[in-house]
């Protein structure tokens, strides 16, 4: 696989996106890390007619309203567990970006009923509301944890992916179309390892789960741009996976705190040593483009002629963080993690 360009974030953000310009956009989970960055990008570069922020936290909504102070923003208090509220919020909407989820692995393990209600039933409700209102484009945000899941969070996101894909079947002849994007942990977001390492660096001891661990690297900026690009290209039923580099956990520890003592604590329950974004079985019905790999539906009745035809993947192809051919080394990690000032 040809390594993707390093400056992929800027390539992903199509300024003045036709899928967004002049359109009404609904963002579930709109006050989260992704939602906030997504809204900021849309307001700055894509001229939406309106953006509806749908979330449960009135305080975060108030803070977001003060931060952006833009009359194109609308704030809806609501939970994705409520199909009635979602249906009301999505009236007259052109694009839905579904980012709401319970995402913390330990919390989902301890509260499985709640995880299923939000991540699985919530996805069903998003599909139902979009079909009821004829929303043309709905794009859901998934995760590498949905691939061969070993924890409840991953299992719920796998279910959500399947629900989103099959939403196209439920939509029938309506204009509503559904697709997903799937990527790994967003570096620097709330709960990620970089803020933890930075905090521990001052104490001189970093807690490392496994020095052999590898992860795909995607920044919040890149994730936002990739979502916008995926809205542009979606036909319905795809799972879009960005072509992104990998990094070694031991290199990240060295980048954040050179010479610090490392305490090996072992991987947590439900955690993997390496990430997988595409399995061998999925690669049989996936194609490669310069910036991403698109997994197309495997059902024979699907009209595959509608999809762009990219490069076929070799037999047995598996997209995993340890077998990647694009890597971020220590010096670049320091720069990307904000540890070295840019010129």
CATH of the domain at 142: 3.40.50.720
pTM value > 0.85: yes
Alpha-carbon distance of 277 to 250, in angstroms, equals 21
Please state the domain count of the chain: 1
Active site members: 145
In a domain, 331, yes or no: no
Contact 56, 81 (CB under 8 A): no
State yes or no: pLDDT of 199 exceeds 90: no
55 contact partners, CB below 8 Å, separation of at least 6: 28, 29, 30, 31, 32, 35, 61, 76, 77, 78, 100
* Residue 342 is assigned to a structural domain of this protein: no
**262 domain residue, yes or no:** no
Per-residue pLDDT of 54-109, as tens digits, reads 999 999 999 999 999 999 999 999 999 999 999 999 999 999 999 999 998 889 99
Is 119 part of a structural domain of the chain?
yes
Residue 343 lies in a domain: no
Around Cβ 309, how many Cβ atoms within 10 Å? 9
Structural domain contains residue 87: yes
CA atoms within 13 A on the CB side of 52: 23
Structural domain for 173, as ranges: 8-185+216-244+276-320
129 in any annotated domain: yes
Confidence band of 204 (pLDDT split at 50, 70, 90)? confident
> Is residue 238 situated within a structural domain?
yes
pLDDT digits (tens, 9 = 90+) for 271-281: 889 999 999 99
């Amino acid at each position: 696989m040809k390594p993707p360009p390093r400056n992929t974030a800027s390539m992903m953000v199509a300024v003045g996106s036709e899928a967004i310009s002049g359109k009404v956009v609904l963002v579930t989970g709109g006050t989260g890390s992704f939602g906030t960055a997504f809204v900021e990008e849309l307001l700055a570069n894509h001229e939406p007619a309106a953006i509806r922020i749908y979330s449960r936290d009135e305080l975060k909504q108030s803070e977001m309203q003060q931060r952006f102070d833009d009359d194109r923003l609308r704030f809806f208090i609501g939970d994705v567990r409520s199909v009635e509220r979602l249906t009301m919020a999505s009236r007259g909407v052109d694009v839905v970006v579904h980012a709401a989820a319970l995402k913390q692995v330990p919390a989902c393990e301890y509260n499985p009923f709640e995880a299923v209600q939000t991540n699985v039933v919530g996805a069903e409700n998003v599909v139902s509301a979009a079909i009821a209102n004829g929303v043309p484009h709905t794009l859901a945000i998934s995760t590498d944890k949905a691939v061969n899941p070993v924890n409840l969070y991953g299992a719920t996101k796998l279910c959500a992916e399947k629900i989103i894909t099959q939403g196209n079947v439920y939509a029938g002849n309506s204009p509503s179309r559904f697709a997903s994007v799937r990527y790994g942990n967003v570096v620097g977001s709330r709960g990620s390892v970089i803020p933890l390492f930075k905090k521990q660096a001052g104490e001189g001891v970093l807690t490392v789960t496994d020095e052999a661990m590898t992860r795909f690297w995607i920044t919040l900026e890149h994730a936002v741009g990739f979502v916008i690009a995926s809205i542009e290209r979606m036909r319905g039923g795809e799972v879009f996976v960005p072509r992104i580099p990998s990094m070694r956990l031991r290199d990240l520890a060295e980048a954040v705190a050179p010479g610090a003592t490392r305490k090996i604590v072992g991987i947590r329950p439900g955690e993997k040593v390496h990430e997988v974004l595409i399995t061998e079985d999925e690669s049989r019905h996936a194609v490669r483009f310069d910036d991403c790999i698109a997994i197309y539906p495997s059902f024979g009745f699907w009209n595959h002629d509608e999809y762009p035809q990219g490069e076929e993947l070799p037999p047995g192809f598996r997209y995993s963080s340890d077998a990647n051919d694009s890597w971020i080394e220590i010096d670049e990690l320091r720069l990307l993690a904000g540890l070295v000032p840019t010129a």
